[in-house]
Amino acid sequence: MTTSASTSAPLIEKHTIGYVPPEDRHGKVRDLFTLWFGGNIAPLPIVTGALGVQLFHLNLVWGIVAILVGHLVGGVLMALHSAQGPQMGIPQMIQSRAQFGSLGALLVVLIAGVMYIGFFASNIVLAGKSLHGVVDSVPVPVGIVIGALGSGIIGIIGYRFIHVLNRIGTWVLGIGIVIGFGYILTHIQTDDFLTRGSFNLSGWLATVSLAALWQIAFAPYVSDYSRYLPANVPVAATFWTTYLGSALGSSLSFVFGAVAVLATPVGMDTMDAVKLATGAIGPLMLVLFLISVISHNALNLYGAVLSLITLVQTFAYRWIPTAKSRAVISIIVLLACCFAAVGASADFIGHFVDMVLVLLVVLVPWTAINLIDFYAIHKGQYDIGSIFQVDGGIYGRYNPQALLAYAIGIAVQIPFMNTPLYVGPVSAHINGADLSWLVGLLVTSPLYFWLATRDSAYRRRLTSEKLAGSL
């Protein structure tokens, strides 16, 4: 489905966090499949997927089952957020003001911004290592800078260019990973490929959680890439194209990582295992992954910049951020991440994964509140003008019901947590499996619905929205 703007949309995106009017809507809903499929064929999900057999000691069959269950479950939440984009026409994080209030949303926006920056920095480290693996004469620090510059150019150009690159990437990376699977499975270098590891409940639950959390990590910015679609795009179409693209692409990468480490001797670094397992086509695979990292990492830079703009605009509400503002902030973030990544420790990516697990504890209740508010309470109808007012308009500066449900949603996860900072008693009892995300969703969702629908001020707000209408 397209609009007349599709053929005239500027290559360099002019909008930042503002509402995208109907005349600027463009694109096809199928672009969401290619965006999330191609974007997930990358080294970071490959490294993460390998943990099921490396860290949690599952065998191949149970590792694959856990990976599929996690992505299929977590992908539902991620795709439900994506379906909000065409209806709202604004980025995901600024939409949170409608649930938490103009100031109440700041904590979640800040956390999301930190997570994006962490993803960006981790991926440029992987880009530097991949480039060094392809061309030995290029030092890793130089590769980091080159990878960051490539992602920076894509992120500054913006929305349309990101979609174009991922349409191409879906075919190239999809074919590449299928060839990679074929080569590994016909050149297995170990005798215990199918027998290494075994089923253990804690490891299986941990792998399911890891896959589900991978999907949930996209939730704070997934609708940023659907907000330019026409408002009349069916919710179901947006959901299914996003869901299938993300779940399929992520699952392939996770399984690829597991297969590569099982096909090589125990103890190898995942990307070294990929290079060894793919043999003659190893250099080609590294080139494809390098391109993927640079392209997909533009999404992390883009999301970080939108979050930072949202934070500033909360206080400087008269400021109308432009493409130039987005470019300047992108350059600042890029330079800071390059500096951090070049001077980072050898275990930088491991530390980052630890950080994401901590941050997701506070993002999971936000996901529950946002989805319940959008689908069950407001049914997609919001007063867009109020969202951009300094006092929050009809949504106010704070929404006590959302903040209370959010705090409780974090608290109930604590006994089930397994993070570098704290291991809860329940998690310790089940050998380290982290089920906090599931508990957080199951408690926060009904609690917020109950609090919101019984609040008289909230009901008056809904009435005001109906009278004001939505842009």
CATH 3.20.20.140 fits 28-343, yes or no: no
pLDDT for 4: 42
pLDDT at 365: 94
- Residue 122: closest CA among 147, 98, 102: 147
Q: What DSSP designation does 194 have?
A: T
Query: Mind listing the pLDDT tens digit of every residue in the chain (471 residues)?
Result: 444 444 455 556 666 777 888 888 878 888 899 889 988 888 888 988 999 999 889 999 999 999 999 999 999 999 999 999 898 888 888 888 899 998 988 888 888 888 888 888 888 887 887 788 778 888 888 888 888 888 888 877 766 777 777 777 788 888 889 999 999 999 888 889 999 989 988 889 889 988 998 999 888 888 888 888 898 899 999 999 999 999 999 999 999 999 999 999 888 888 888 888 888 888 888 788 788 888 778 888 888 888 888 888 888 777 777 778 888 888 888 888 888 777 765 666 666 666 666 777 888 999 999 999 999 998 888 988 888 888 888 888 989 999 999 999 999 999 998 776 788 888 878 777 778 899 999 999 999 999 988 875 655 555 565 555 544
Please tell me the predicted confidence (pLDDT) of residue 435: 85
Question: Which pLDDT score, from 0 to 100, does residue 158 have?
Answer: 66
pLDDT at 462: 58
Instruction: Determine if residue 392 is left, alpha or beta; phi over 0 gives left, psi from -120 to 50 gives alpha, anything else beta.
Output: left
Q: Pick the closest to residue 305 from 9, 15, 78 (CA basis).
A: 15
Q: How far apart are CA 380 and CA 389, in angstroms?
A: 19
100/135 Cα distance (integer angstroms): 49
pLDDT at 58: 94
Q: Are 217 and 360 in contact (CB under 8 A)?
A: yes
